[in-house]
Structure 1
Amino acid sequence: MSTTAIIGTGVMGETLLAGLLRAGWSASDLIAADRREYRRAEVEAKHGVRTGTNVDAAGAADTVVLVVKPQDIPEVLPEIREAMRPGALVVSLCAGVQTWQLEAGLPDGTPVVRVMPNTPAQVDEGMAAISGGKNATPEHLDRVTAIMSAVGKAVTVPEKYQDAVTAISGSGPAYLFFVVEAMIDAGVMLGLPRDVSTLLVSQTMYGSAKLLVESGEHPTVLRERVTSPGGTTAAALRELEVHRVKAAFISAMEAARDRSAHLARPAKEK
């Protein structure tokens, strides 16, 4: 198997590294890099993989996965550019950074694939959207799909959809946590102990999501099965409609998409 480098061992970088190991990837086929020496030591001790500097990792790998802050990209690309192997694939998990921006800072012809992951990858239930740059082939996309499948599911989309993906699945966990928080608080206001309310809401959310995925049925159908005419659920849903909750969610996601597009623009255009 070829060698894969993960540059950046923050939360998402370590999540991906640990997921690959759980999925059966050999530690000898992975190398992790971090600018902080103490962090490299921690990762090596915890996961049993080789570690090194960004230059070390880029020079040892056929696939280089960038999991750094978007603002660090202008510093990282010049570091790895000269060290990279000919034909190495660069995979970016850096939010808002477009493939052309990466290609401009890498050797001519470098294949680049952009990925938008999300935080449920920490429990191997992530959702990633993958987009290839101008030099990426179907084989490159397959390679990235295999990497991201170690921590959840992956879908390939044209890059023009990445801002919408950011708004839906990238930021999506925050919306769900927001709803969970509101439901737990409502339970407390209705007289339930907070720990009981938390358990009720968390398991209800988990079970409902599992039912949605495993049944394959439309959410409207599932919602209608819970909603008896003139019943308690109908009364609750009427209040959500009165307060235009669905419209608010749509507006929120439009705002997230627009913000993603704004952040992706070069600084001189902002």
Structure 2
Amino acid sequence: MDDAVARKGLVLVGCGKMGGAMLSGWLKGGLPASSVWVKDPYPADWLKDAGVHLNEDFPQAPAVAIVAVKPQMMGEALPQVAALGGGETLVISVAAGTPISKFEEVFGAGTPIVRAMPNTPAAVGRGITAIIGNATTTPTHMALAEDLLSAVGQVVALERESQMDAVTAVSGSGPAYVFHLIETLAAAGENVGLSPELSLKLARATVGGAGVLAEEADETPGQLRTNVTSPNGTTQAALEVLMHQTTGFPALLDRAVKAAADRSKELARDE
């Protein structure tokens, strides 16, 4: 963890599931609790014993301020930290659908601002976060943002902010697609004779295990699929249904991801 963060302090606005996951990662990574100021109107019980400064006045120029509130709470949260604008504090937003321009209106264009899109597996340290900075951010700012956000998983840098809608559609919303796959796979198992409990256990373990294998194997997902598909076997019979160009996964996921990306653009315009 960057020494400047420990020395100058970190302000976390909003400590729900995502903010709490990040804070837990920072504390486990060695950031002193005494260097953290948390602003949250409804703090979880564990925060009261974590040793952080909870709903206290924060430093005038902390190293970082992270805004981790829901988009609908932004109007209430941002005025509380607007005084941190000006350049001395790096502002990081993990609020979905809120563009950098919104933060520049509040903090000023001279404030280094990083917009980030994490996803819910961050709760178990297996998330992936995409980041993009405004014109004021330096490589040092981006490195600091990556260091902080890597506490909950992988971090990737985008080339332009417009890519954030696609990131939202693929990885931000993506866990819900996988959870629905587990639901439907379990239901299909019941339809061919398994008990609900056994079918759900098989579906969870199969999707979870396949995900780890896909992430850690040297082969591409396509090659891994080929590896488990015997000619004229059971897997091929299933894949002929799933890979159908008009009724299978390719067309279905194209439509689903496009719908999510389009909605992300709409939400940004509504800001």
TM-score (norm 2): 0.91
1:49 matched residue in structure 2: 52
> Which residue does 2:111 correspond to in 1?
110
Distance in 2 between residues matched to 1:14 and 1:60, nearest whole Å: 22
- SS for the counterpart of 1:59 is coil
* Total equivalences in the alignment: 262
Q: Greater shift after overlay, 125-134 or 198-207?
A: 198-207
| Identity %, equivalent residues | 39
- What is the one-letter code of the residue matched to 2:52? V
Name the CA distance, whole Å, in 2 between partners of 1:86 and 1:99: 15
Q: Show CA shifts across 1:25-76 (max 9, x none).
A: 221222211134xx27x243242222115xx246362200001121222332
State the shift of 1:164 in Å. 0.3
Q: 1:17 is matched with which residue?
A: 23
**Is residue 258 from structure 1 mapped to residue 259 from structure 2 by the alignment?**
no
1:118-138: CA deviations, max 9, x gaps? 000000000100010121111
SS at match of 1:162: helix
1:97-129 deviation digits (Å, cap 9, x = unpaired)? 111110111145111000000000000000100
> Per-residue deviation at 1:198?
1.8
Measured in 2, the distance between the counterparts of 1:67 and 1:58 equals 18
RMSD of Structure 2 on Structure 1 (CA) = 1.8
Deviation at 1:4, TM superposition (A): 1.2
Alpha-carbon distance, 1:220 to partner: 0.9
Does the CA contact (< 8 Å) of 1:59 and 1:84 recur in 2?
no
Write the letter of the residue equivalent to 2:64.
Answer: T
Q: Which residue of 2 aligns with 1:4?
A: 10
Specify every segment of 5 or more residues in structure 1 that has no aligned partner in the other structure, as ranges.
none
For 1:95, the equivalent position in structure 2 comes to 96
Distance 2:205 2:90 in 1: 41
Structure 2 unpaired stretches of 5+: none
The residue aligned with 1:172 is: 174
Distance 1:26 1:110 in 2: 25
Structure 2: how far apart are the matches of 1:46 and 1:121? 22
- TM-score norm. by structure 1 comes to 0.91
Secondary structure in structure 1 of the residue aligned to 2:110 = coil
